[in-house]
Amino acid sequence: MATGFYFDERCMWHSAGEHAFFLPVGGYVQPPAGGQHAESPETKRRFRNLLDVSGLLGRLEVRTAPPATRADLERVHPAAYLDRFKALSDAGGGDMGEEAAFSRGGYEIAALAAGLAMRGVADVMARKVDNAYVLSRPPGHHCLPDKGMGFCLLANIAIALEALRAAQGPLRAAVVDWDVHHGNGTEAIYYDRDDTLTISLHQEACYPTDTGRAGDRGRGRGEGFNLNVPLLPGGGHRAYLDAMELLVLPALRAFRPDIIVIASGLDANGHDPLARMLATSETFREMTRMLKAEAAALCGGRLVAVHEGDYSEVVVPFCGLAIVEELSGLGTDVEDPFLVALSEGQPAPDLVAFQRARLQAQARATFGG
């Protein structure tokens, strides 16, 4: 077996129309060159291109998938939401919520992104591949059941998990979201449930600004099965590794999932324009190494990464390559040219110590002791 890599060029054809980054063009907002929206295909294409030219892509199990069906989508999203999405898509596009714009055909492309996530999760669960990376767009972790949000139109990971449950029955799943923005959509879908542990590491109050608090732990049967780890802006490489060590890994060990899914946003990198977290490609490599080892100990190595947000087309490919190298256990001769500068620009020791003390306090409140 090998690491699976799931991709379809049609996902790169998703468009949110003419924007200046994330603001619609108009009034005093001038069109940039090309009218580029922040959620651009270029970051993902360049990630895949680097896998290709490095020789790593040819050593992976490269696969695609059919779109998710209407029945697949309805396990997570109400019919009224899907009907409106399809109608707007057929009519030329529109907006499904807060910063959730799309153009003609957006419904079909979003269903394809969900279908890629479904197949990646199913293949790993069935041991058809050792583990997997799903490079799809549009992203999904902000999407609520009845409202698009933050460039997300369908809840890709939740759709994949619910399809797996429909096919094989009860399942304990853990979602570890290291996108720099809070995974509020995934949280909302599973907030009342105890069969899915949702963990989000994110820059505090970045997006959405009113969610992602450490005290939000779930509700009813879901109490204790949601874990938010808000990190101070500028926390950098060490903040993520401390968060993994002190909170994420202990939570996974207590829950003992059957499968771990990473919501793999790469926008915590130090050159991302929508955040300020100073992570490096080695941050993503180390977090992947930690989760791969934990998956081996807890759930037979069943680990899937599903792509979420990223907005720096020059740095993202090196972060993605580091993850896939670690998943596959295969090296390349690629050296990250941004690593030295980002490593030298990490926060001062007193900030690192302050952030670690904050995480230790959260760990005591979460696990006792």
162 domain residue, yes or no = yes
Q: The CATH number of the domain where 358 resides is what?
A: 3.40.800.20
Tokens standing for residue 104 = 């003609």
Q: Which amino acid is at 273?
A: P
Residue 350 has φ and ψ, to the nearest 5°, of -70, -35
The pLDDT of residue 356: 98
pLDDT at 49 over 70: yes
The pLDDT of residue 35: 59
The pLDDT of residue 148: 98
Tokens standing for residue 192 = 């009342």
The pLDDT of residue 16: 85
The pLDDT of residue 29: 81
Beta bridge partners of 103: 93
Nearest by Cα to 366 from 195, 200, 250: 250
Q: Quote the mean pLDDT of the chain.
A: 96
218 domain residue, yes or no = yes
**In Å, what is the CA distance from 89 to each residue of 51, 73, 102, 110, 166?**
32, 16, 8, 11, 28
Output DSSP code: residue 172.
-
Concatenated DSSP letters of 301-326: T-EEEEE-----TTTHHHHHHHHHHH
- Coil vs helix vs strand at 212: coil
pLDDT at 301 over 90: yes
47 domain residue, yes or no = yes
The arrangement of strands across the sheet holding 3-6 comes to: 61-63, 3-6, 131-134, 303-307, 259-264, 173-177, 196-203, 226-231
64 domain residue, yes or no = yes
Per-residue confidence band for 34, with pLDDT thresholds at 50, 70 and 90: low
Per-residue confidence band for 22, with pLDDT thresholds at 50, 70 and 90: confident
Q: What is the mean pLDDT of residues 12-25?
A: 82
* pLDDT tens per residue across span 248-281: 999 999 999 999 999 999 999 999 999 999 999 9
Share of the chain residues as helix, strand and coil, in percent rounded to the nearest 5: 45, 15, 40
Per-residue confidence band for 30, with pLDDT thresholds at 50, 70 and 90: confident
**In Å, what is the CA distance from 55 to each residue of 45, 59, 236, 257, 334?**
16, 7, 30, 33, 10
Quote the number of domains for the chain. Answer: 1
344 domain residue, yes or no = yes
Q: Where in the sequence numbering do the catalytic residues fall?
A: 142
25 domain residue, yes or no = no
Tokens standing for residue 209 = 């600004």
Give 317's Cβ-side CA count (13 Å radius).
Answer: 21
Q: Kindly give the pairing relationship between strand 226-231 and strand 101-103.
A: unpaired
The pLDDT of residue 82: 98
The residue with greater pLDDT, 157 or 27, is 157
Pairwise CA distance, residues 222 & 196, whole Å = 8
Q: Are the C-beta atoms of 171 and 162 separated by less than 8 Å?
A: no
Tokens standing for residue 135 = 């490079």
29 domain residue, yes or no = no
Domain assignment of residue 46, given as a range: 3-10+36-367
Per-residue confidence band for 31, with pLDDT thresholds at 50, 70 and 90: confident
Q: What is the mean pLDDT of residues 230-237?
A: 97
pTM: 0.97
Q: Are the C-beta atoms of 318 and 336 separated by less than 8 Å?
A: yes
Residue 16 has φ and ψ, to the nearest 5°, of -100, 10
Beta bridge partners of 19: 24
Nearest by Cα to 204 from 185, 182, 226: 182
pLDDT at 247 over 70: yes
The pLDDT of residue 161: 99
Pairwise CA distance, residues 185 & 63, whole Å = 27
The residue with greater pLDDT, 210 or 38, is 210
The pLDDT of residue 149: 98
28 domain residue, yes or no = no
| % of the chain beyond a pLDDT of 70 | 99
| % of the chain beyond a pLDDT of 90 | 92
The pLDDT of residue 185: 98
Pairwise CA distance, residues 43 & 301, whole Å = 28
